[in-house]
Amino acid sequence: MDVADIRVLIADDHPVVRRGLRALLSTVDGFEVVGEAADGAEAVREAQLTRPDVVLMDVRMPDLDGVEATRRIRKAVPETAVLMLTMYDDDATVFTAMQAGARGYLLKGAEQDDIADAIRAVVRGQAIFGPGIAGRVLGYFSSPPSPAPAEDPFPELTAREREILELLAEGKRTSAIASALFLSPKTVSNNLTSIFAKLEVADRAEAIIRAREHGLGT
């Protein structure tokens, strides 16, 4: 497709960031910002209304985070590509976002040309990663984790995620799980996001049901 046709939706909960991205793209030929969203739910609605070629998506947003918003957008508007643009570069967030359907992952602070090139790349169907992230992704797929025993009902989960799911199934809240495992609430939240993606559930309630069906938390 012609680069002049690339229509972009910006999803970020910080107005300054949204204005900055809009101003940045306005200085580059071939882009049109068709909308903005301040949270994940609004991003899903705007994507369905404007049907952009690309959504520039933050990860941490109120009400509905960028990972779940990405999953819903890819289901509702499959022709729209999602490019994550965030400050979070931990492996759990990166891989969960890609599993949700994001085609690219850049860190905030990327150069203008890098952002523009990444948008064009994901529109062409390519996967794009920022410096440092690409190496970890390639390493992950070139050295996949050993498969879990067949009797494990959730072989896709890491040992830490299994511990967190067990406590979640017992009815513990995020703060209680963090205290029990000597983790920060943020780390627990990141792991929960990964767990929901791997189990293909929408929220805590569905995760608890799946876990209890397999004997966890009882």
Q: Residues 59, 86: contact at Cβ < 8 Å?
A: yes
The pTM for the full model equals 0.63
Tell me if residue 43 falls in helix, strand or coil.
helix
Other Cβ atoms less than 10 A from the Cβ of 20: the count is: 14
Query: Tell me, what DSSP letter sits at residue 82?
Result: E
Set out the domains of the chain in order of their start, with CATH numbers.
3-139 (3.40.50.2300), 159-213 (1.10.10.10)
Q: Residue 190 and residue 160: Cα distance in Å, rounded?
A: 12
145-194 pLDDT tens trace: 555 444 678 889 998 999 999 999 988 999 999 999 999 999 999 999 99
How many Cα atoms within 13 Å fall on the side-chain side of residue 28? 23
44-98 pLDDT tens trace: 999 999 999 999 999 989 888 999 999 999 999 999 999 999 988 777 788 888 8
> Among residues 141, 126, 55, 125, which one has the least CA distance to residue 91?
141
pLDDT tier at 131, thresholds 50, 70, 90: confident
Say what percent of the chain tops pLDDT 70.
Answer: 89
Tell me, what's the pLDDT at 3?
A: 45
Tell me, what's the pLDDT at 96?
A: 85
> Among residues 122, 51, 140, which one has the least CA distance to residue 84?
122
> DSSP of 5-17, one letter per residue?
GEEEEEE-S-HHH
